Structure 1
Amino acid sequence: MTTTTTTKIQSLKLKEMEGVKDSTEAELSKIRLMRAFVETRDPSSKEVDDLMIRRFLRARGLDVEKASAMFLKYLKWKRSFVPNGYISPSEIAEDIAHGKMFVQGVDKKGRPIAIAFAAKHFQNKNGSDGFKRYVVFALEKLCSRMPPGQEKFLGIADIKGWGYANSDLRGYLNALSILQDCYPERLGKLFILHAPYLFMKVWKIIYPFIDENTKKKIVFVETKELKSTLLEEIDESQLPDIYGGQMPLVPIQDS
């Protein structure tokens, strides 16, 4: 084992210890139980840290059986859908070309900020898998930008200009499924801006599929209170300039 590899492993372990130290005794006990169980079912479980185990546990109310089933399903999905371990920009060129997502800055809690423009999204010509890969690419980018001790991101969904051409119900539900089932406890808060009446009709269809934990993190923002609401969570120096802040937008593929 090289010195560089040893250093990386030590760094990962320190990050993990830093993160799980805020766990309750109940969580620590459940983490040990779940790890022992999933490692007997899927040896690749040994490669994940306790923080990931804890996120799945928290997503299922610390129910080891339910969290384990969810986690093992995720591992199977990851091997099938992301066999190389990552999504290459060349695989999602169509979605990148639309310029619909940006990532820059952090909020007051140190969570990376993602901005998505719904009016720039259209159904993928190559089927639903293309957009699903784009969603995974985006979530992996966000996770890679999280500093030690941080597990969540803050999202801003700007619906301005959204119309029938952007109405991709299957795509939205696929994205929601990936977020909730494969990246649980990653969303810290989601602000929805400029939502038109037409979008709200589609939202009523999507809403029942959102789990209760996620629903609590979603905030619809009144346009007249947009900047003041965002400033409650984001310093002006980190707020996107299009919302009155000082941070220029950075395309997600360049972040």
Structure 2
Amino acid sequence: MEIIKKETESKIEEVEKNQEQERTEKPEEEEKNGKISEMDEIEKSKVDSMRILIQKEDPSFKEVDDFTLRRFLRARNLDIEKASKMFLKYVRWRRSFLANGAISASEVPNEIAQNKFFMQGFDKKGRPIAVLLGARHKQAKLDEFKHIMGDGM
């Protein structure tokens, strides 16, 4: 009985030790100026390939930071073709909702009246931070909500 107890305790200690080691070995990702850290060269090379593919598909493609492209890559399990298609579809959708590039307050008076959208300052790169509280949305005008969501993405 004692042998089984000792074996069980040693296995538990070994598992706990491995879990602790995994936690300390996982490197923190560094995001510097929207660039991918040196730790993940595979993602960086795929982001570069994706950028080239997108520029071939859409010559009017605006410069987007690596972090944004990486989000699309991760959403498609690092498949460059699928991520590029997804990104281009997003760009077309965004253009259809934001033809002039921004939304004026006169275009979304209900969202403002319901206090579901407000500005929270700027990030490190100077981009505005918008907070959208979806729980405050009332299903009256879905197109208006989609329109304001386009500005937040």
TM-score tier by shorter-chain length is 0.5 to 0.7
Residues 1:113 and 1:95: Cα distance change in structure 2 (over 3 Å): closer
Q: How far does residue 135 in structure 1 lie from its aligned partner after superposition?
A: 2.4
Could you tell me which residue of structure 1 aligns to residue 46 of structure 2? 30
Query: How many pairs are equivalent?
Result: 116
1:148-168 per-residue CA deviation (whole Å, 9 max, x = no partner) reads xxxxxxxxxxxxxxxxxxxxx
Residues 1:89 and 1:115: Cα distance change in structure 2 (over 3 Å): closer
Q: Is 1:97–2:113 an aligned residue pair?
A: yes
Letter paired with 1:43: P
TM-score where L is the length of structure 1? 0.40
Residues 1:40 and 1:17: Cα distance change in structure 2 (over 3 Å): farther
Letter paired with 2:133: A
Unaligned runs of 5+ in 2: 1-30, 122-128
Q: Distance in 1 between matches of 2:96 and 2:132?
A: 28
Q: How far does residue 93 in structure 1 lie from its aligned partner after superposition?
A: 0.4
Q: Distance in 2 between matches of 1:86 and 1:30?
A: 30
Q: Distance in 1 between matches of 2:148 and 2:130?
A: 17
2:82 paired residue among 59, 63, 66: 66
Which structure 2 residues correspond to residues 131-146 of structure 1 after superposition, within 5 A?
Answer: 131-137=145-151, 139=152
Which structure 2 residues correspond to residues 98-177 of structure 1 after superposition, within 5 A?
Answer: 98-102=114-118, 104=120, 114=131, 116=133, 118=135, 120-124=136-140, 127-137=141-151, 139=152
Q: Is 1:84–2:113 an aligned residue pair?
A: no
Could you tell me which residue of structure 2 aligns to residue 18 of structure 1? 33
Q: Secondary structure at the match of 2:138?
A: coil
Letter paired with 2:148: Y
Q: Is 1:51–2:67 an aligned residue pair?
A: yes
Q: How far does residue 101 in structure 1 lie from its aligned partner after superposition?
A: 4.0
Is this contact kept in 1: 2:117–2:133, CA < 8 A? yes
Unaligned runs of 5+ in 1: 1-15, 106-111, 140-182, 184-255
Letter paired with 1:26: I
Q: How far does residue 35 in structure 1 lie from its aligned partner after superposition?
A: 1.1
Q: Secondary structure at the match of 2:61?
A: helix
C-alpha RMSD of the superposition: 2.8
Q: How far does residue 46 in structure 1 lie from its aligned partner after superposition?
A: 4.6
- Which has the larger Rg? 2
Q: How far does residue 47 in structure 1 lie from its aligned partner after superposition?
A: 2.5
1:189-231 per-residue CA deviation (whole Å, 9 max, x = no partner) reads xxxxxxxxxxxxxxxxxxxxxxxxxxxxxxxxxxxxxxxxxxx
Q: Secondary structure at the match of 2:133?
A: strand
Q: Secondary structure at the match of 1:130?
A: helix
Could you tell me which residue of structure 1 aligns to residue 28 of structure 2? none
Letter paired with 2:35: V
Q: Distance in 2 between matches of 1:76 and 1:113?
A: 21
Q: Distance in 1 between matches of 2:96 and 2:116?
A: 26
Q: How far does residue 83 in structure 1 lie from its aligned partner after superposition?
A: 0.8
1:88-114 per-residue CA deviation (whole Å, 9 max, x = no partner) reads 111100121112345548xxxxxx794
Residues 1:99 and 1:17: Cα distance change in structure 2 (over 3 Å): closer
